Amino acid sequence: MNNQVFTVLGIFVISIFSAATLANAETSVKSSAFEKTTLVEFTNNDSSPIQSVKMWLGKDGSTFQTFKSEKGWLGQKTSQGVLVFSTAEPLKIGQSVKFGLKTDIEKPSINWRTIDASGKEISSGKVTPNQISNIITKPNSQSSSSQSNNKQGTENTKSGGFDNAVFRIIPENPKG
């Protein structure tokens, strides 16, 4: 009898932790920089595929000079200075995409937002090179009015095992 109780209790605890993990799934973002070039990688840990990514710089007056995206992703810079990247093949759970950005300052903080195919925000946050991204997840809601009433979301810090990692950009052509 005791073994059955422990088995049922174990299954119950595992199912609760699994549900909590799925409820807190979010986009993880890593950033590394060398001089004025920044590499930003987005990994989709959410159940919704990522259709587009928006990025913009802080209020320090800095601007994006150029950008580069992976194959299959198109990017454009809006008149407000926001970079919008979108794809015909959404980023599924576990997949990642990288973007190269050149700015007029070194190691900029970059604000970002991920959006699904229906135009709903999946998550947003701010990333600084060589630091963990602060992520604000949006709760899944059926009505846009309840989504607009809950603008704050839940703020989490994502560690992902990169606490002591050092990221470097390797140049395409070595200096001679």
Give pLDDT tens digits for 97-156. Answer: 999 999 999 999 999 999 999 999 999 999 988 876 666 655 554 333 333 333 333 333
Q: 139-157 pLDDT, tens per residue?
A: 554 333 333 333 333 333 4
Give the angle 141-114-55 at the CA atoms, nearest 5°: 140
Residue 149's SS3 state is helix
Asked if residues 124 and 112 have their Cβ atoms less than 8 Å apart, the reply is yes
Q: In the structure encoding, which two tokens stand for residue 139, read together? A: 């709760």
How is the chain split into domains, by residue range?
26-157
The DSSP element (H or E) to which 6 belongs, if any, is: helix 2-23
pLDDT score, position 87: 97
- Residue 145's pLDDT is what? 36
26-157 — its CATH code? Answer: 2.60.40
